[in-house]
Structure 1
Amino acid sequence: MPVPVLSAREATSTASELAERFAKGAAERDSDRILPVEELDELGRSGLLAITVPAEQGGADLPVAAVAEVFRLLATGDPSIAQIPHSHFVYVNALRHAATPAQQAFFFGEVLAGRRFGNAQSEIGTKHVRDFRTTLRPDPAHQTELWRLDGEKGYATGALLADWIPVLAHLGVDGPMHVAWVEREAAGVTVVDDWNGMGQRTTASGTVRLDDVAVAAERITPYHVTFEGPQTYGAFAQLLHAAIDAGIARAALRDAAEFVTTKSRPYPDAIAELGIERHADDPTVVQAFGELELAVRAAEALVAEAARAVDRADAELNADSAGAASLAVAAARGATTDAALGTATRLFEVSGTRAALDSLNLHRHWRNARTHTLHDPAAWKVRHLGRWALDGQLPPNHGQL
């Protein structure tokens, strides 16, 4: 069934409604590691996964600012559900950058029909995260019309519950990087649900094994060309990570406020010296919540500004505009990392001992924040900001900025 084509207002309204529903079961899903299969199906039916399909292909073609807000809202409900389609949006973007018109027509049609993309990008055991061994080799009987794919990928968020798995691989031995689009149920494809991280526990970010998988030439798109000139591909991907962290921060603050106003007991000295009846009226608690609100608002504002910077760069793309977008996203990543970790940590400080009960699972906010913010180091984002502030040096042109 075709999914609805949403306006920006409809997209954010739908994301807000879904986030509210997803929040109700988030603690239980995390505690029992229940994958959000039904929730992801509902997300797909909503039309939210199709909001970046180009208008000329029948899609909503919403601005990046709307996409970032959708991710932030979803993450306030359940950040695992928000993270699962991250690669879906990144590879829709990859198609916009480098696919042929025929490939775009086919895959954007798949998205508008409600189908989902996963990813098989990262590899474990290589020298660094941008070092890849997986290689597409020509099929001896069909030359370059058919290719064969072998390899193993890790951290494959979204692959388990996807219809298509974009696989990042060399085209030929030591050849340029391409994306091989592999059907989830294709022969030789195995997706292992072996993710055992302490946080983001229900993202199914497991292992993809590829054993002599046949890939037709028309299902291979170039990846390397995206970085041959100015691009916002990396900034867009990083922005969505920042939006997820901002959502985690807001959810932690929301749950802390709910706990403090309904369950926390006032400290005896506050009763004796100040005569307060509620823990929420303790001036030290009020001050702490004010500081947390300030940090979360600042992070949210930087996410919104970074999204607008990406939109501005896309409208007039050059080295300066792309660099400005990457710097804006770097600032958002730094701020959202601090806000998510800080809020999820101070949640216990302001709530009291009872908040640490395992049965309440409030610690999932810190576990989610700590796990997701490890995706790639925020310290390097800050370093690039420092180089810009000192010498006006633009950041490097790659997919992690």
Structure 2
Amino acid sequence: MIGSDKALRLTAELAAAFASTAARRDAERILPAAELDRLSEAGLLAITVPASHGGPDLSASTVAEVIRLLAAADPNIGQIPQSHFVYVRNLRRQGTPALKDRLFAELLAGKRFGNAQSEAGTKHVRDIRTTLRPHGSGWTLTGRKFYATGALLADWIPVLAHLDVDGPLHVAWVERTAAGVEVIDDWNGFGQRTTASGSVVLNEVAVPAEFVTPYQVIFDGPQTYGSFAQLLHAAIDAGIARGAVTEAATFVREKSRPYPDAGVDRAADDPLVVHAFGEVELAVRAAEALLREAAAAVDRADAALTARSAGEASLAVAAARAATTNAALTAAGRLFEVAGTRSAAANLGLDRHWRNARTHTLHDPAAWKVQRLGQWAVDGVYPPNHGQL
């Protein structure tokens, strides 16, 4: 059975291999299908399957560190499994015994979840139009999703939909190859180019009743579903920040020329360059520390779930999200300041760090995380109970 230490060791080994080809994948937009297969084969995508179903049942802290290590190597590979782990948690909480038996066994065999949640052209991110309509003893599913990260490379696609037009939100667990399911690789972001976060079209997809589970009820009481999801987004940004610092340092040591006024032989000895690295390292270390504390807060809430422990987890994750956003943008932007003119050469692909940071940090506005922290500081008010906190 894979434990936390082994999971992190395997992740670090795979991440080192993924990092060496990350720039090429970005430049040529090569989707990381082979890399995802290696994660599945190593058992790393099944680490949250519960012990009751033969899984490792590893903590949120371990999952966050797995995602951070992957994102430091290639944040596209870090982002793709984010929704996979979130929907494993959904299945743990909402799945029927029979559905859990079926899908947890598939996860342990290396299968992957994608997602089909957000929709383009709606009023806001929580405005869902996709519907499940009664059909015989089951349902038919119709709609169009966007930002469906992971769906193209998944075996199962959890789809967020209303029961009829105005009914409560449910999750339809749909096989990627089911009739009426079309996954379109139409994602064209300037960053996170190889997440394949495109469209899922659902045209009267037949869904048996046992493959439809409640979603909206998750938020009727204390929950860590939202904080766990946001924790993994923070881990992606922390990874982007660390990856940018690491590659910038290598470039400065090996390729940058010193500025003449510095009076040094190596750019890495220029005191202004060293100071700039120190400032960036400070921001990145602070973000990593807040990420660890946020993960620990989610684990504490999972162990003893109350309104207070869930609220504390949301606050800790909000702080981590705000800090990792700042760290990723700072590290990826200042990379060029410390590395010099040569670093702007397009063939090097160093700009991918900033493009990835800028794209992924748009996922949820950091300003709203700070707003929630301010409301707590002023009035002791916990964040609202929804999936984005």
TM category (shorter chain) comes to over 0.9
Q: Describe how 1:379-394 pairs up with structure 2 within 5 A.
A: 379-394=367-382
Q: Describe how 1:1-400 pairs up with structure 2 within 5 A.
A: 5-139=1-135, 142=136, 145-271=137-263, 276-400=264-388
1:85-133 per-position Cα deviation (integer Å, ceiling 9, x unaligned) = 1111010000111111111111111101110000000011111000011
Deviation at 1:268, TM superposition (A): 1.1
Q: Is the CA contact 1:116–1:163 (under 8 Å) kept in the aligned structure 2? A: yes
1:327-363 per-position Cα deviation (integer Å, ceiling 9, x unaligned) = 0000000000000000000000001001000000000
| Structure 2 unaligned regions, length at least 5 | none
Deviation at 1:37, TM superposition (A): 1.0
Q: CA RMSD in A?
A: 0.6
Q: Is the CA contact 1:98–1:225 (under 8 Å) kept in the aligned structure 2? A: no
Alignment-mate amino acid for residue 48 of structure 1: L
Q: Is the CA contact 2:129–2:165 (under 8 Å) kept in the aligned structure 1? A: no
Aligned to 2:192, the other structure's residue is in SS state coil
Cα distance between partner residues in 2 of 1:399 and 1:158:
19
* Structure 1 consecutive aligned stretches of length 4 or more whose deviation exceeds 6 Å: none
Aligned to 1:334, the other structure's residue is in SS state helix
Cα distance between partner residues in 2 of 1:250 and 1:325:
24
Cα distance between partner residues in 2 of 1:52 and 1:316:
18
Aligned to 2:20, the other structure's residue is in SS state helix
Cα distance between partner residues in 2 of 1:332 and 1:173:
36
Deviation at 1:173, TM superposition (A): 2.4
Q: TM-score of the superposition, structure 2-length normalised?
A: 0.99
Aligned to 2:21, the other structure's residue is in SS state helix
Alignment-mate amino acid for residue 11 of structure 1: A
Cα distance between partner residues in 1 of 2:278 and 2:165:
56
Cα distance between partner residues in 2 of 1:348 and 1:173:
50
Cα distance between partner residues in 1 of 2:236 and 2:13:
17
Q: How many residues align?
A: 389
Cα distance between partner residues in 2 of 1:123 and 1:286:
45
Cα distance between partner residues in 2 of 1:322 and 1:173:
31
1:170-198 per-position Cα deviation (integer Å, ceiling 9, x unaligned) = 01221110000111011000000000000
Cα distance between partner residues in 2 of 1:150 and 1:319:
36
1:215-256 per-position Cα deviation (integer Å, ceiling 9, x unaligned) = 000111110111010000000000000001000000000000
Cα distance between partner residues in 1 of 2:111 and 2:291:
28
Aligned to 2:143, the other structure's residue is in SS state strand
Cα distance between partner residues in 1 of 2:96 and 2:180:
26
Q: Is the CA contact 2:138–2:208 (under 8 Å) kept in the aligned structure 1? A: yes
Aligned to 1:156, the other structure's residue is in SS state coil
